[in-house]
Chain A
Amino acid sequence: MAGVEEMESQTDDKENSSEKIVKTKEKNSNQDSEKLMKLPLSRIKSIMKSDPDVTLASQEAVITIAKATELFIWELSKDAVHSTLQSKRKTLQRKDLDCILDTRDCYLFLEGTLD
């Protein structure tokens, strides 16, 4: 797919450096962005490329989606731990997640995907 190849050329530099680091120190994979990004941009880009309808994405778009994903993980965890604390447990379990997935509308897109 030509469009996908153009995406590769846009982020080749970051991909080459981040892929090597992810194998060893995943936490430090984005220190070149001065701690703005924790998730590796190469992995985000790989997931985006798996969508056949997507042709091109700017570097800023990849970064924005990466940051949005970090916020999503944070939000999901924060919501799920409410169920944990209500049950007076000290370990967040899968059932806590299932509980909040049914509660909030914004998590409806996840229905059937985590089984």
Chain B
Amino acid sequence: MAERPEDLNLPNAVVTRIIKDAIPDGVNVSKEARLAISKAASVFVLYATSCSNNYAMKAKRKTINANDVISAMEEMEFDQFEDPLKHCLEAYRNEQKNKKEANEKKKKEKEVEVQTVEDVMEEEEDDEDNDGDNEKDEDFVAEEDEDDDEEEDEEGGDVESVGLGSVANDNASVSGSATGSVVEISDDDG
């Protein structure tokens, strides 16, 4: 392969960072050397991809997988990369598993919140007079009506007798039983 991937270079900052991590402190890197290493890295990607693809095709697969890449390292004479790559792959798979579990947990929590909000909204809709309970105002009206009926029964159910009785209570003596009959009232002025 004599390709020159000039347009597919890796970011200079990242390449420089990796180079500086590999060399002793105090040693610098020239711009030309940095550029050459960056180009070499791009060629490495192409070479690794091609070798990995060969392994996939041998296994009659169209998709390159991680194991194909690790196997290709041996063919490329980079055996020393196999263990670090396996560790990296395992770490990535664990990270993906944790992310998936975290997402599922968040999803369940959201569902519970939505259900709680819906329940609260239903209760508020039922409480029309906003007094904290779901009883309607008509119930109170119904109770007042019942009380009025009771009062009328006690005073004979005659509106006139009730009215007269209430006015004349101060000066009049009331005789007879309150069983519904008319009460005689006598006015004593004095």
B-binding residues in A (CB < 8 A):
3, 22, 26-27, 29, 33-34, 36, 38-40, 43-44, 46-48, 50-51, 53-58, 60-61, 63-65, 67-78, 80-81, 84-85, 90-94, 96-97, 105-106, 109-110, 112-114
Contact = CB atoms under 8 A, between A and B. Distances in A.
B170 interface: no
Contacts of A76: 37, 40-41
Interface residues of B, number: 64
Contacts of A67: 84-85, 88
Contacts of B62: 3, 55-56
B78 A68 contact: yes
Contact of A27 (B17, B32, B92): B17
Interface stretch (B48-56, B141-149, B159-167, B176-184): B48-56
Contacts of A44: 45
Contacts of A29: 11, 14
A68 B17 contact: no
Which of the listed residues B5, B44, B62, B78 has the most CB atoms from chain A within 10 Å of its own CB?
B44
A111 to B, nearest CB: 8
Contact of B52 (A61, A71, A105, A112): A61
Contacts of A92: 19, 23, 27-30, 33
A69 B44 contact: yes
Given A81-B22, A81-B24, A26 B11 contact: yes
A94 B95 contact: no
B19 to A, nearest CB: 4
Contacts of B48: 65, 68-69
Interface stretch (B68-76, B101-109, B124-132): B68-76
B138 to A, nearest CB: 57
B13 interface: yes
A28 to B, nearest CB: 10
A109 B39 contact: no
Interface string B76-106: 1110110011001101110100000000000
A63 B93 CA distance: 11
Contacts of A81: 22-24, 27
A60 B70 CA distance: 11
Contacts of B63: 55-58, 61
Contacts of B81: 68, 71-72
- List of 9 A-B pairs having minimum Cβ-Cβ separation, nearest first: A60-B66, A77-B22, A106-B77, A56-B63, A26-B11, A64-B69, A57-B64, A94-B32, A77-B19
A43 B12 CA distance: 12
Contacts of A109: 1, 43-44, 47, 76
Contacts of A27: 13-14, 17
